[in-house]
Structure 1
Amino acid sequence: MPSSTPSVPAPLIDTGMRTEPDRAWVREAIRKLRADATRTSDTHLIKVHLPGCGRVDLYLKDESTHPTGSLKHRLGRSLFLYGLCNGLIGPSTTVVEASSGSTAVSEAHFARMLGVPFVAVMASSTSPAKIKLIEREGGTCHLVDDPTTVYDEARRLADAAGGIYLDQFSNAERATDWRGNNNIAESIFEQMAMEEHPVPTWIVVGAGTGGTSATIGRFVRYQALDTQVCVVDPERSAFLPAWQGDGEARLEPSRIEGIGRARLEPSFLPLVVDRMLGVPDAASIAATRFLRERTGIHAGPSTGTNIYGALKLAAEMQSAGQGGSIVSLVCDRGDRYDDSYNNDAWVAQKGHDLAAYAAVLAAAWDHGTWIG
């Protein structure tokens, strides 16, 4: 019989090692970001006394105490970690974001920490104070007159620079580990553990990217908790109509900075939200001022949206004889808005009448009744 000829293995194809992004640089960048998380992750949870709602405890997680002054500090760090761990950010990568302000402040902070250039694409109507904060953190601001073009313009600038568009509106829900790993939901429940009602009846948040509501909504389901998630939404936003089944884009942007969008953003997950409340813009501004008068907490207008919704829920619980707790957020610092929402002339020029909403807030706070 003829002898068999041994088969010859196919040659190994070696394309060489990837050298960009440099692995040593990436390791050091991740160390810096994780060190920041260790320093800054647990913001204070403040218990607020509601004289008229004795059955209900209200807590505010003060995200304004982050180094960059807002809830978006968490998101900015998560997006940079997402880019680094996916091999998208290296030592010379230009990072670009479409942002209404606070996310860009935080991302500029982290870009400077890592030594990479950062460009924020934002509407020209963004408050001058926020623009100054971004520039103070080392970022560059690229302003556009039409807010609906920020996405495409950010992508164009990133492509032109050979960089990366972080795209907070698509990546917020995937960049954060919703199962735990020191996210905001895990932090809330750890801090509530010793309270009288440790599992909140409601957690009340707004939606800008939708990442916070997605993280909390998934976490409470994963942990099999009874907590319900309420998203408060300003006028003209696409989120509330989308939750109701209408996913069409709105025609105008929100007038409450940081929350509400003119389109349904990919990171907003309606199915993990239990309830949504539409909050008039004047009510958000009135609630911001009311919170400062009653507690001394000086916060931005999106916090006012949270407070208005949280007080409505508290009054409902009180009226129903239901005890429990409600948790919401202080989203950012109020001094960023001293030239706008905190300025009486600006408010009057925009046509906002705050008096009626101040009365609604006082009735809920002092007597546990909702008159709206």
Structure 2
Amino acid sequence: MNSTVPTGGSATPTLDIDRSDPRYRAWLAEAVRKVQADANRSADTHLLRFPLPREWGVDLYLKDESTHPTGSLKHRLARSLFLYGLCNGWIRPDAPVIDASSGSTAVSEAYFAGLIGVPFIAVMPRTTSREKCRLIEYHAGQCHLVDDPRGMYEEAAALAERTGGHYMDQFTYAERATDWRGNNNIAESIYTQLRLERHPVPAWIVATAGTGGTSATIARYVRYMQHDTHVCVADPENSCFFDGWKDHDPAAYSETGSRIEGIGRPRMEPSFVTGAIDRMMKVPDAASVAAARALEQAIGRKAGGSTGTGLWSALKIVAEMAGEGRKGSVVTLICDPGERYLDKYYSDAWLAEQGLDITPYAAAITAFLATGRWSC
């Protein structure tokens, strides 16, 4: 899985290209067309119902982002990042695109890089699941693994400097690249799909945060459209987002990387817009895994750990609403498929190695679905 990225030599600066050259303009137009055509070919993702007793008066939905061509919520982000980079003149013919990622964004970015014919290099923690690495390489991307996740940013920037490539920097540009006012973004899609349901305007939408781009897009859209919806972000262990939001501390930091791939960060990322969020919950990693496994029992679908983090918080909100006699709907996300994590969240050996006991959390979910009482 180690990359064969050049480690020396002078970089070719991004600005060393004549952007008035007809050949470049033709390449750019074709690249943008190909990325936009992918959106046209991709049907919208499904909105699934999680089975709850109807008499509770609360409906729980899961926006299934695992059905994108590259299998995750990050397909939307990668498409937006590529369009943003192309239209800004940052992505050039033959020059590599490089990004720091915990896996799913890199899979999607490798796909779009291949679509427009440029090389792609993913700088990722060495603990990234083997299946994600395989998928990146399937799309002709390279995996450049680092031991300390906190050093991903600097390594990605250094690789871009050495190779003359473009550092995509998803953690900075995620919230800027996506059109949060509409244009079939994830928020607009959720409201459109809920239109004929008994509670068409959700009381809560629960998201998780890696870059923070998804929560920013949803929260901004809610306010822009003046919906009576609140946004909750669920945060795993070993992530600074919850503390940074709670304490209004942009310098919040975590010494340890998140075990839940794709979400939770050691630093407050530029795309994590704290002022747009109504509530955050800190979720134990064992609870995230228990919820992911409970999802499979409920709907027959495996999902990743980040889905479990969001589902745990969504179930807690459902319990609060039902306990208070409030009716309405709650929406959370299926971020990616569980088949990418068979050696982690679906492995009892991995749980034991990590010292995670999911038993009490699994029991709490089972009891809640049977009795309506939340015990955690």
Q: 1:40 offset after TM fit, Å?
A: 1.7
**Aligned runs of 1:87-98 on 2, under 5 Å?**
87-98=89-100
For 1:174, what is the secondary structure of its paired residue? helix
CA RMSD of aligned residues (A): 1.3
Structure number with larger C-alpha Rg:
1
TM-score by length of 1: 0.94
Specify whether residues 55 and 134 from structure 1 end up closer, same or farther in structure 2 by C-alpha distance, changes over 3 A only. same
In the other structure, the counterpart of 1:44 is 46
Q: Deviations 1:190-233 (Å, cap 9, x if unpaired)?
A: 11111111100000010000000000000000001110000000
1:223-280 CA distances to partner (integer Å, 9 max, x unpaired)? Answer: 0111000000001211100111233211111111011000000000011000001100
The Cα of 1:53 is off from its aligned counterpart by 6.5
**Amino acid in structure 2 at the alignment position of 1:207:** A
Change (3 A) 1:97 1:50: same
Change (3 A) 1:274 1:219: same
Q: Which residue of 2 aligns with 1:114?
A: 116
Are 1:350 and 2:354 counterparts?
A: yes
User: Is 1:79 the counterpart of 2:81 in the alignment?
Assistant: yes
CA distance in 2, matches of 1:113, 1:131: 19
Q: 1:66 corresponds to which residue?
A: 68
Post-superposition shift, 1:30? Answer: 1.0
Aligned to 1:28: 30
Q: Is the 8 A contact 1:303 1:329 kept in 2?
A: yes
* Equivalent residue, structure 2, for 1:339: 343
Q: CA deviation at 1:349?
A: 1.3
Query: Which residue is 1:280 aligned to?
Result: 284
State the shift of 1:48 in Å: 1.8
> Any conservation in 2 of the 1:97–1:119 contact (CA below 8 Å)?
yes
Tell me the distance in 2 between the aligned counterparts of 1:21 and 1:254. Answer: 44
Q: CA deviation at 1:57?
A: 0.4
Q: Which residue of 2 aligns with 1:289?
A: 293
Choose from 96, 102, 105 the match for 2:104.
102
Matches of 2:352 and 2:19, distance apart in 1: 62
Task: Tell me the residue number matched to 1:6.
Answer: none
- Specify the alignment match of 2:137 in structure 1: 135
The match for 1:12 is none
1:305 aligns with 2:313: no
Hey, what's the Cα distance between the residues in 2 that align with 1:210 and 1:129? 24
Structure 1 unmatched ranges of 5 or more:
1-15
Residue matched to 1:171: 173
1: CA distance, partners of 2:28 / 2:114: 15
Matched with 1:268 is: 272
The alpha carbon displacement at 1:93 in A equals: 2.1
Aligned-pair distance for 1:366? 2.3
Residue type at the aligned position of 1:348: A
Deviations 1:56-113 (A, max 9, x none): 0011010001111100000011000000111111222210000000000000000001
Query: Displacement of 1:17 after TM fit?
Result: 6.2
Q: In the alignment, which residue of structure 1 is the partner of 2:203?
A: 201
Q: CA deviation at 1:292?
A: 0.3
In structure 1, distance between residues paired with 2:170 and 2:33:
22
Q: What does 1:233-252 correspond to in 2, within 5 Å?
A: 233-245=235-247, 246-247=249-250, 248-252=252-256
User: CA–CA distance in 2 between the matches of 1:36 and 1:289?
Assistant: 32
1:41 deviates by: 5.0
Corresponding pairs, count = 357
The alignment partner of 2:36 has SS state of: helix
2 CA distance for matches of 1:340 and 1:253? 15
1:370 to 1:30, Cα distance in 2 relative to 1, 3 A: same
Kindly provide the amino acid, as one letter, of the partner of residue 311 in structure 1.
L
Structure 2: distance between partners of 1:21 and 1:354: 57
Secondary structure of the residue that 2:332 maps to in structure 1?
strand
